[in-house]
Amino acid sequence: MQTRQPGLGRAARTEKTRTAIVTAALDLIAAAGYDATTTEAIAARAGVSPRTFFRYFPTKESVILSGEDDFYQAFRGVFRAQPDTLTDIAAMREALVTLAPGVARRRRWTQVYVRAVETSSALRGQDQIKHDVNTASMAQAIAERRALPEPDEDCELLAAIGHLLVSRALRKWAMGPARVSPAELLEAEFARLDKLLD
Amino acid sequence: MQTRQPGLGRAARTEKTRTAIVTAALDLIAAAGYDATTTEAIAARAGVSPRTFFRYFPTKESVILSGEDDFYQAFRGVFRAQPDTLTDIAAMREALVTLAPGVARRRRWTQVYVRAVETSSALRGQDQIKHDVNTASMAQAIAERRALPEPDEDCELLAAIGHLLVSRALRKWAMGPARVSPAELLEAEFARLDKLLD
DNA sequence: GGCAACATGACAGTGCACTGTCATGTTGCC
DNA sequence: GGCAACATGACAGTGCACTGTCATGTTGCC
């Protein structure tokens, strides 16, 4: 796969190799699941040696985890920018819906990721850890909005519920038909939550 | 560890070996974490050969996962027995609080389990799978109570939130001081949820 | 007491993620 | 054009979960 490309520059070439590995990994994982995909197979498909795989990624997991963007970091800013007239939940909904289109551009990755997480308990565990970090980050944002020095239990629960809704919407989006946007699904989850409280 | 015990009977002896392995595993995992504990070390501490470990447990994970009881199965019955005058959330709270004392007898196991899950992403993944199963089971119970043939999205969200509260309460109980009961912590979580909806 | 069924240990082996090391390119730069 | 810095492949190796197989107890049962 990797062909001589003289005029490319060192950085560009390594970047290309990196992309080749990620692409190969995504293809194989999409086809066979995460556990059934060996690093050796990924390397072979990317046209590099098995050893090189580990020069680009420290672990097998990192090749798929690296596709993450900074969604929750962005959340913090957008959430804080919501008007004070909104309740925390409403502000959360607005912020998340605002951010949703950014996610929509990554459908392929999200699909493979969701599938990968479902086919591997090790990966699922990593995903959970990420969830916990993200939830903590959301709790922090909520505490800021409430002018608390530190997130309390209420902030944490709220963040956990918000995160739950995001996860559910994301999974549905990845697995459902393409015409439904993440924003719509997210709105639907929030609507359901509202209804639950009567 | 395993000494000659002639009058014991085959079934009792294998049961004893099984317990020895579980106890050894719990001790080692409590001390060093899950990933750092090898099956070989567990076997050694239990006084059996490494091979025998795998005759009793098909995987390393299963030795700690096997400690689970049928909490969520019991939930179904107790939940359905709640009076119709209660909302679903209230009925859920009542049922869970009723079941909580049963959990309270298993503090040691729960502590080790919570710690184990935190020290291993593979185990965390397994735990998640269990969570999903339990959530589905709760959703089913809610659907029954609502006289629905099948759980709809509302049931699922409600179950997911219920399960979230249980998880949070359980973690706090395992990590906090012994004098606080699981039931209290659970009530606190439900109270927080109520407050969240204003 | 002796035989069949079962439990165990010993041993060798597999698969796979991950590492160290060295030799051989390849690139950027003067 | 040539040298230093870097990228890669080849190769050997490790750790650990997990398996197959065989020989040696050990138990239940007549």
Contact residues for A116 (Cβ-Cβ < 8 A; gap 6+) = A29, A33, A34, A64, A123
Contact residues for B94 (Cβ-Cβ < 8 A; gap 6+) = B82, B86
**Nearest nucleotide (CA of A10 to C1'):** C27
What residues of A are in contact with residue B128 (Cβ under 8 Å)? 121, 124-125, 128
Nucleic acid strand D: bases within 7 A of protein CB: 6-12, 16-21, 27-28
Tokens representing residue B165 in the block: 């509260």
**Nearest nucleotide (CA of B57 to C1'):** D18
Confidence (pLDDT) at A7: 53
Taking a C-beta distance cutoff of 8 angstroms, is the pair B29, B122 a contact?
no
Confidence (pLDDT) at B63: 95
Taking a C-beta distance cutoff of 8 angstroms, is the pair B102, B122 a contact?
no
Contact residues for B33 (Cβ-Cβ < 8 A; gap 6+) = B115, B116, B119, B120
Confidence (pLDDT) at B73: 84
A103-112, A174-183, B65-74: segment of lowest average pLDDT: B65-74
Nearest to A121 among B89, B125, B157 (CB): B125
Mean pLDDT throughout A118-135? 90
For the stretch B3-37, pLDDT in tens is 334 456 888 889 999 999 999 999 999 999 999 99
Mean pLDDT throughout A173-180? 90
Using the structure, give the distance in angstroms from the CA atom of B51 to the C1' atom of C11, rounded to a whole number: 11
Distances (CA, A) of B166 to B144, B181, B196: 21, 13, 17
Residue A5's pLDDT band (cuts 50, 70, 90): very low
Inform me whether the pLDDT recorded for A196 exceeds 90.
no
SS3 of chain B: helix, strand, coil, percent, to 5 = 75, 0, 25
Mean pLDDT throughout A77-105? 92
Candidates A129, A133, A100, A106; CA nearest to A26 is: A106
For the stretch B92-148, pLDDT in tens is 999 999 999 988 888 888 999 998 998 899 999 999 988 999 999 999 999 999 999
Inform me whether the pLDDT recorded for A163 exceeds 70.
yes
d(CA B18, CA A95): 52
Mean pLDDT throughout A108-114? 90
d(CA A83, CA A135): 22
Confidence (pLDDT) at B97: 94
Using the structure, give the distance in angstroms from the CA atom of A20 to the C1' atom of C24, rounded to a whole number: 23
The answer to whether some atom of strand C lies closer than 7 Å to the beta carbon of A52 is no
Q: Across the interface, do A189 and B157 touch by the CB < 8 Å criterion? A: yes
Confidence (pLDDT) at A95: 95
Confidence (pLDDT) at B5: 43
Confidence (pLDDT) at B7: 53
Confidence (pLDDT) at B103: 86
Confidence (pLDDT) at B163: 94
Nearest to B125 among A124, A193, A198 (CB): A124
Tokens representing residue B118 in the block: 């935190």
d(CA B63, CA B51): 14
Mean pLDDT throughout A69-93? 90
Supply the mean pLDDT for chain B: 90
d(CA A46, CA A3): 11
Using the structure, give the distance in angstroms from the CA atom of A15 to the C1' atom of C24, rounded to a whole number: 22
Residue A198's pLDDT band (cuts 50, 70, 90): low
Mean pLDDT throughout A73-94? 92
Candidates A42, A20, A16, B62; CA nearest to A34 is: A42
pTM over cut 0.85: yes
For the stretch A6-42, pLDDT in tens is 456 888 889 999 999 999 999 999 999 999 999 999 9
Instruction: Quickly tell me which residue has 């006084």 as its tokens.
Output: B47
Please calculate the CA angle A152-A157-A161 and round it to the nearest 5 degrees: 150
Supply the mean pLDDT for chain A: 90
Question: How large is the greatest C-alpha to C-alpha distance in chain B, in angstroms?
Answer: 66
Confidence (pLDDT) at B45: 97
Collapsing DSSP to helix, strand or coil, A135 comes out as: helix
Distances (CA, A) of A92 to A163, B155, B157, B170: 10, 22, 18, 27
What residues of B are in contact with residue A120 (Cβ under 8 Å)? 125
Tokens representing residue B72 in the block: 């969520």
Candidates A187, A177, A174, A188; CA nearest to A67 is: A174
Confidence (pLDDT) at A11: 83
Taking a C-beta distance cutoff of 8 angstroms, is the pair A147, B144 a contact?
no
